[in-house]
Structure 1
């Protein structure tokens, strides 16, 4: 129901295009793209990676109930840890999810590059577009 949601602005569309261009310029092949089911995330993924993302409910805005939130974050971590592809896995989600998973507060249009480490994620870098 995109008309009832905050949608991707023209600036957001430009940022998504730049994200895709940077991945392409760095020859960073993408094997799989998972996205929140929110329209702005799905649109970001489509524009950036020119592919249809897989809607992944745990990437939606975090639940307010602590037990539901913990389960949601655990599902994201399980997906990351279970990934065995040869190319990159991209997750398109919301600020609060990124903060909860990494402790990093990215700027609008910024990517956080991570790898699993122990029970959490190790931030390898941040890329602003």
Structure 2
């Protein structure tokens, strides 16, 4: 799991829309460079391609794209619930179920938000931080390590 690269600020402006990046908090120039660097880290460690899933927020989609690890597929279960905490439990349970159905044969990368990473791992990641997780045969997820990229 990766928290999106550096996008200065906190939260999104009131009235932001997923279909309009100009209404959202977006990656800075430093964040774009960080996203490209994350992809380089994967390749340097023998992962040139992966199944890449992203939140629908522009900063996550751009992070995923700039990593150049493969086609990015949008996954609404990776979307932020920062502004609507009532969605957290239901969304995280659905996300766990969905992850449990994925084929673990290929490396899989999720680009998402701090709240989602924290809900699954109990880790508060920095921007662009990689939290390596493993899925056990019974579907449980466990943290294997973390790698700050800033």
TM-score, normalised to structure 2, is 0.78
Structure 2 gap segments, 5+ residues each = 1-19
CA–CA distance in structure 1, aligned partners of residues 108 and 69 of structure 2: 15
1:82 aligns with one of 101, 108, 111: 101
8 Å CA contact 1:101, 1:120 repeated in 2: no
2:54 aligns with one of 21, 35, 47: 35
1:103 aligns with one of 122, 127, 140: 122
Structure 2 partner of 1:54: 73
Structure 1 gap segments, 5+ residues each = none
Which digits, 9 at most, give the CA deviation of each residue in 1:67-106, with x for residues without a partner? x322210121122211114211110000011111100111
Greater share of helix: 1
Greater share of strand: 1
1:50/1:90 CA distance change after superposition, 3 Å: closer
The number of aligned residues is 127
8 Å CA contact 2:77, 2:94 repeated in 1: yes
1:122 aligns with one of 114, 136, 142: 142
Alignment of 1:10-25 (within 5 A): 10-25=29-44
8 Å CA contact 1:28, 1:88 repeated in 2: yes
